[in-house]
Amino acid sequence: MGLIIGNRALQGSSNLPYLQQQTFDGEETWVPLTFLDRNRVPVVPTSIRVELDDLTNSVQMDNGPLTLNPLGASTTSYTYPAFSSGSPTPWLLQLSATLMQMTYPYQGSQICKLKLVWKAVDSVTAIAFGQTYETIFELVSTPTVSGSL
């Protein structure tokens, strides 16, 4: 099936089972997060692990899974502040431009998945629990005729 332009359902294609998000190849991407327990109370994670995968070509993009530093860090792949609940201001995970590269630029686009597994302590029971967050987005190549931009 060729490139779908406009509404997928009106053109006979199935609707996507996930929110359609797009980002350009080589562009920084921010993922805002708020961490809640089962009572929807904001909690500060005790650990966070991430992995970014190119699902189109079955390639790990970040050599993950990676364990994030609770004090925050700035690496070639991710930049993030010290762990917080993300309430009232979301906790931002920044995916660097060097990380957001097409596996094969001539492909046009690729489907990527960011998986984040985090652990925290429940606000009522004081028992540790874990949650998984996944987001799917399309990484789009932006070639130019000159190849210099």
Q: Is residue 111 part of a domain?
A: yes
CA atoms within 13 A on the CB side of 30: 6
Q: Which domain holds residue 93?
A: 19-140
Residues with pLDDT less than 50, the chain:
1
| CATH code (residue 61) | 2.60.40
Cα–Cα dist 98/79, whole Å: 12
Write out the two tokens for 67.
Answer: 């364990």
Residues 94, 139: Cα–Cα separation, whole Å: 15
Q: What is the pLDDT of residue 120?
A: 96
Q: For residue 1, what pLDDT is reported? A: 47
Asked if residue 95 is part of any domain, the answer here is yes
**Residue 74's beta-bridge partner residues?**
79
Per residue in 14-44, pLDDT (tens digit) is 556 666 788 989 899 999 999 999 999 999 9
Predicted confidence at residue 10, as pLDDT, reads 55
| Structural domains counted in the chain | 1
Taking only Cα atoms into account, the Rg of the chain, rounded to an integer number of angstroms, comes to 18
CA distance 11 to 25: 27
Kindly give, in sequence order, each residue whose CB lies less than 8 Å from that of residue 58, ignoring residues fewer than 6 positions away. Answer: none
* Contacts of 4-13 spanning 24+ positions with Cβ under 8 A: none
Q: Quick check: helix, strand or coil at residue 105?
A: helix
| CA-to-CA separations, 69 to 46, 75, 89, 126, in angstroms, rounded | 10, 11, 20, 22
In a domain, 14, yes or no: no
Q: Kindly state whether residue 10 falls inside one of the protein's structural domains.
A: no
**pLDDT at residue 105 in the model:** 78
* Domain assignment of residue 93, yes or no: yes
pLDDT at 18: 65
* 137-49-102 Cα angle (round to 5): 35
